[in-house]
Amino acid sequence: MKRHILILCTVLTAFGLTAFGVVNWNDSKTNELGTTANEQVVMNRPVFGPKEKEIFIEFDFDVGPRFNPIKKTKLDKVRTIADFLDAEVVASIVTLQSVNVALVENDQQTNVLETGVFETGTTATLTDGQLLLLQSFDYSSNFLVRAHYRKKNGNTGILVSDYRSPHLTIVPEKQAVYSYGKEAFLYYLREESKEVRANLNSEDLRAAKLSFRVAKNGAVEVIELERSSGYPEVDQKMIELISNLPGSWKPARNAAGNEVNQEFVISFGAMGC
């Protein structure tokens, strides 16, 4: 099908967006998937034309690092659980029972401590082993810090057990940037998947995830479906869309300014994924 050029301001008008360029993924100093308002997006069909079949099923899209991002330069400076947990949580801890630092493989959170890539401690100050493990992780590595503790119940004053388990992804100091911006990226996925999503059953739709890597040269590679939506045709369409994504990528850079690979994850399917 012959591709048409869509003017980005048309996208803005159609969706009522007032800000479209710089996109912040939990890092106000880094412009991920940033763009300028006069750039264009390549699509298969124009925005305006015959009214297409409306899709009433809620279908979510998002893209970014797998978990909450943390820069490697910041990770190298952490020393205690206070560097990972909210101050309110830290203040509520009466006795600390254990602190685990563990690598998370892909998106698997169950039995993660059985992988063998973890270190355990019993104090708020991270052990030498935990610090060495954290510093050994490379960009796009995913890990968790799980603190088990006892705190006072706010109503009864009785000590109760609780835990926090923040999951984080190590990101480069300058993350990879998509030439047309995050909103254009998600708009492309929504529009180009409409046909395959037209007759889905919400009861069968699941939360799905697809990962890809932006290489040092800006190429999109290693596209992998990690969790199916429950509809193989939708999964395949998402892979095709990423494989044929218009535009280009500015690769990520480390603290020294060298280009590095970066992984991104696309969540799609059931709301809440």
The DSSP line for 25-77 is SS-TT--BT---TT-EEEESS-SSSSPPPP--S--EEEEE-SSEEEEHHHHTT
Over 50: is that where the pLDDT of 37 sits? no
Residues 6+ apart with CB under 8 A from 197: 55, 57, 59, 234
List the domain range (segments joined by +) for residue 186: 4-65+175-269
Over 80: is that where the pLDDT of 1 sits? no
- Virtual torsion, Cα 215, 59, 226, 132, nearest 10 deg: 70
- The sign of the CA dihedral 122, 128, 133, 138 is positive
Q: Which residues pair with 5 in a beta bridge?
A: 42
The three-point CA angle 252-255-257 to 5° equals 60
- Do 164 and 83 lie in one domain? The reply is yes
Over 90: is that where the pLDDT of 67 sits? yes
- Do 90 and 110 lie in one domain? The reply is yes
pLDDT tens digits, residue range 92-145?
999 999 999 999 987 665 444 455 688 999 999 999 999 999 999 999 999 999
Per-residue confidence (pLDDT) for residue 196, from 0 to 100: 93
Q: Which two three-digit tokens encode residue 209?
A: 């995830």
- Do 61 and 186 lie in one domain? The reply is yes
- Do 57 and 185 lie in one domain? The reply is yes
Per-residue confidence (pLDDT) for residue 201, from 0 to 100: 87
- Do 161 and 106 lie in one domain? The reply is yes
Say if CB 184 and CB 40 are below 8 A apart: no
The number of beta carbons lying within 10 Å of the beta carbon of residue 136 is 10
Per-residue confidence (pLDDT) for residue 32, from 0 to 100: 54
The residue among 239, 248, 262, 247 whose CA lies nearest residue 189 is 239
**Long-range contacts for 87-93 (Cβ within 8 Å, ≥24 apart)?**
89/164, 90/124, 92/151, 92/152, 93/124, 93/147, 93/149, 93/150, 93/151
Boundary residue ending a domain (171, 202, 237): 171
Q: How many domains does the chain have?
A: 2
- Do 132 and 213 lie in one domain? The reply is no
- Do 93 and 35 lie in one domain? The reply is no
- Whole-angstrom CA distances from 168 to 69, 118, 143 are 6, 14, 6
Over 80: is that where the pLDDT of 82 sits? yes
Per-residue confidence (pLDDT) for residue 248, from 0 to 100: 97
Boundary residue ending a domain (171, 203, 237): 171
The number of beta carbons lying within 10 Å of the beta carbon of residue 168 is 21
161: left (phi over 0), alpha (psi -120 to 50) or beta: beta
The residue among 117, 175, 177, 167 whose CA lies nearest residue 147 is 167
Over 90: is that where the pLDDT of 179 sits? yes
- Whole-angstrom CA distances from 224 to 140, 220, 264 are 15, 11, 11
Boundary residue ending a domain (104, 137, 171): 171
